[in-house]
Amino acid sequence: MTTKSPRPIPKRRVCNRSTMQLGWLLLLSLAHGTLSQRANDTLLWGPYRPNLYFGLRPRIPQSLMTGLMWFGTQDYQSVIRTRHACDQGDGLDSYTWTEYDTREGGVQVIRDSQNNVKITTEFIKVAGGEHGGSWAARVKGEPIKSDIPSRISTIFYFGLEGFGGLEMDTDEDENGIVGEFKLSGSTPELDDFIIRVVDGPANKPVTEGPHSGAFKDRIGKTHFIGKPVPSGNIWQAKDVILKALIDRAREVVAPYQDPEAGPPDPSFILQLPDEVYTGSNLFAVQKLFTGEFQFDVFFESGSSKQKLSPSILDQGIPALVEAYGSRFRSVFPYSTDFAKDQQESLEAFSKAITSNLVAGVGYFYGTSIVDRKFSYEWDEEEDTIQAPRAKDDEDGEQERGEQGARLTDPKALLTATPSRSFFPRGFYWDEGFHLLHIGEWDNDFSLEILKDWINLIDDDGWVAREQILGEEARSKVPKEFQTQVPNYANPPTLTMAVTAFIARVKAASPSGPSAQDLGMNAQMPLNPPVTAPGSQYLEQPELALDFLKSIYKPLKRHYDWFRRTQRGQIKQYSRVARSRTEAYRWRGRSEQHVLTSGMDDYPRGPPHAGELHLDLISWMGFFTRTMRDIAGYVGEVDDELSFGEIEKAILGNIDDLHWNSEMKMYCDVNVDDDDESYHVCHKGYLSLFPFLLSLLPTSAPQLGDILDLLRDPAHLWSPYGLRSLSAAHPEFGQGENYWKGPIWVQMNYLALGALHKTYAAQPGPHQERAKEIYKELRKNVVDNVFKEYQRTGYVWEQYDAITGEGKRSHPFTGWTSLTAMILAEKY
Ligand SMILES: *[C@@H]1O[C@H](CO)[C@@H](O)[C@H](O)[C@H]1NC(C)=O
């Protein structure tokens, strides 16, 4: 129904009238609804290897990959603990991007007390040319304690995957080189480029030490290696590089056996061999320092014709930090509900977690493992073909038969990651939360990510809940969790990103850019709005509409897949409900776990083909409601009506099937030995679902009981946020204790969102109470996550139900970063 006509593209820079007119003429000649290539170019490069402390790559399946490694040279052992991939075992005090902008670059601070070094990595993108622009990176180090040695060796590497070539331009020298190190290369997508590694002004090598005289030709030089590495193996660069270093070191140190004279200083020995093999596609550059150090890496895209120099970082980084700070304050304004004297530190915290979430976005490419045959006995329907059955071992966990597991074709995915150290890959149910937060900062970037996820929806409508793409990603996952099964679901959160986008589009043009309006406004506005970068989809309603239309079909296929594959039974157990169709059950659960629900070990009844899950029917109510919104927005009128009917049926059935009036709570449903239906009631997050997803009307008679449960310190309420399981529950804190008490920030975020947008905002018998609870809960969550960040240097996967202490993986700057959204009241 769109009327096609050219629409002006508002400019992002403020400029004077005459250049503006020129701009308009130019822009008028563009086809309608175009995303400018230049804006998209700014997203080509990024720290898209967030599993590394510092790993830059472009958003291209097979291309250039870079990485930073370092170790201490104060002894011979530190090289064994070389830092490269984020690892909790490294015991770093902290590492986080303090500022990171999707389009410009940013700054990361890494504190490594064991090696007595604070490392700062700076990264700045430089637009220009036809191939995605250039960039510069700076690695700086300084001692944490000045009274003890800080002796660091850094290795920065460049590896090329896929077509193209890379070669060393600097003259080789078997003792290392002095001055800049230069590579030139070319790939089909990046075209010609040059890489230079340049020393800072005041670096000092280790010159004194046992046997220094024997090594004087090598001291103070830059060392290197070039090696051929088979395609697909660049991710193992650390192993390849360290092997070369250690092999050489063994040889060099061999003559120094005399215990009296002792071995040479490690920094004279732990050096790369200064060799380049033919056909090398992996190059590493090593520098050895004592005390403060600095070096720069420049990637110059050939077509941009711009030679980069240190001044781009000297000036660019302070400007970037400044601009980031002021934009941050406007996007995430500081709340006067928090103390004035905390403002600086809370803002820095908020910036850091937001930056780390955004800089935690990775680009993954590779195969995954899917088992199309796997099934549990309770998941089999009478009318499906018999599949090999899964057995449960003693722990009630499935034994995965190898026979059905197959590698898929390679796929690409741009995605945020829950934890750079522990979960450096895409997770379906986390991603909806991530995108809410990322979309506040850079709408268009969040859409690029969303688009990649939507592209993963297969012909049946299925998406694997964990995206473990490629060998590198798989290397982080225990074997029993690598296989994905096509009838397993996960909470459908991606639609949260879609509705948040629609809300932003509406806010950007409040008159409502309905499809009919679009052709009418051919008149150009005199002063186009000057808006934030990454907002082209908000500035051009046509572009927004095209985007929503393009994802509507696959989303609907995904929705239909949920309804078809996760359906629960009603009439078989003579259950009474208004709708005969709307009931749901997670497939793929085991005796002990419902991993698909996202709340892995939350107590449920025994597995049974007749059980019904409250959280899933609630998610389906939410999914249906968001699909109705989207259908309405893209003008799918019939769909909108039918979604509306399904939504109504689901809301009715939540009450008919899941409300237990004696217990005064919502419950799961199961079937006993006499085939009678009964409620399975465990007080915790599960009980709150119809409230968490704002499915209950403000006038619902159940609301008061839900608020009682939530606010009761004997059950879910703690000074640190809502507990996952009631403190009075017999299983509270037991077993794995993953979802049996600990506090999860994203669930608190849902509760706060429901209160803020619905129950405290709209009139109803519980409005005043909802307001109070909102205020207290918000403060509790923010204060605790912040306090723990200050105490430990990290944000955590979850927080202890009794003490509030951070628990499990860290840094967990996936959905725990929502704390910044809570602080700024963005729901
Ligand atoms: C932006 O660029 C990336 C990678 O170069 C590409 O995959 C993506 O489709 C582009 N997006 C748009 C909207 O052009």
* Domain final residue, candidates 313, 330, 347: 330
- The CA distances from residue 303 to 129, 134, 190, 316, in Å, are 5, 10, 9, 21
- CA torsion through residues 630, 633, 638, 643, sign: positive
Q: Tell whether 447 is covered by a domain.
A: no
CB 370 within 8 A of CB 485: yes
Q: For ligand 1, pick from 448, 536, 548 the residue to mutate: most ligand atoms within 8 Å of CB.
A: 448
**What is the reported pLDDT for 33?**
57
For the chain, the farthest-separated pair of C-alpha atoms sits apart, in whole angstroms, at 90
**What is the reported pLDDT for 443?**
97
In DSSP terms, 198 is beta-bridged to: 296
Which tens digits make up the pLDDT trace of 284-315?
999 999 999 999 999 999 999 899 999 999 99
Q: Which helix (H) or strand (E) covers residue 507, if one does? A: helix 494-508
- What are the structure tokens assigned to 221, written together? 């030089």
What amino acid positions are annotated as catalytic residues? 600, 797
Write the residue with the smallest CA distance to atom 1 of ligand 1.
Answer: 40
Q: Is the pTM of this model over 0.75?
A: yes
Q: Tell whether 222 is covered by a domain.
A: yes
Ligand 1 lining (C-beta closer than 6 Å): 35, 40, 44, 59
67 Cα: distance to centroid of ligand 1 (angstroms): 24
**What is the reported pLDDT for 480?**
86
**What is the reported pLDDT for 525?**
42
How many CB atoms within 10 Å of residue 172? 12
Write the residue with the smallest CA distance to atom 2 of ligand 1.
Answer: 40
Which tens digits make up the pLDDT trace of 322-345?
999 999 999 999 999 999 999 999
Q: Tell whether 674 is covered by a domain.
A: no
Q: How far apart (Å, rounded) are the C-alpha atoms in residues 287 and 216?
A: 15
Q: Tell whether 545 is covered by a domain.
A: no
Domain count, the chain: 2
Q: Tell whether 226 is covered by a domain.
A: yes
**What is the reported pLDDT for 139?**
98
DSSP 379: G
Q: Tell whether 388 is covered by a domain.
A: no
Write the residue with the smallest CA distance to atom 13 of ligand 1.
Answer: 35
Q: How far apart (Å, rounded) are the C-alpha atoms in residues 705 and 694?
A: 15
How far does the chain reach from its first CA to its final CA, in angstroms? 32
107 Cα: distance to centroid of ligand 1 (angstroms): 25
CB 256 within 8 A of CB 211: yes
* Domain final residue, candidates 330, 364, 382: 330
**What is the reported pLDDT for 393?**
40
**CATH no. for residue 159?**
2.70.98.110
454 Cα: distance to centroid of ligand 1 (angstroms): 14
**What is the reported pLDDT for 34?**
72
**How large is the angle between the packed helices 685-692 and 614-634, nearest 10 degrees?**
20
CB 800 within 8 A of CB 807: yes
Q: What residue ranges of the chain have pLDDT lower than 70?
A: 1-33, 381-403, 510-532
Write the residue with the smallest CA distance to atom 11 of ligand 1.
Answer: 40
Q: Tell whether 125 is covered by a domain.
A: yes
Q: Please state whether 321 falls in left (phi above 0), alpha (psi between -120 and 50) or beta.
A: alpha
* Domain final residue, candidates 307, 330, 353: 330
Q: Tell whether 361 is covered by a domain.
A: no
Residues of the domain holding 71: 19-330
Query: How many helices (H) does the chain have, and how many strands (E)?
Result: 19, 30
DSSP-assigned states of every residue in 522-571 = -SPPSS-----TT-HHHH-HHHHHHHHHHHHHHHHHHHHHHHHHSB--SG
Q: Cβ-count burial of 676 within 10 angstroms (0-12 exposed, 13-18 middle, 19+ buried)? A: exposed
687: nearest Cα among 652, 725, 741:
725
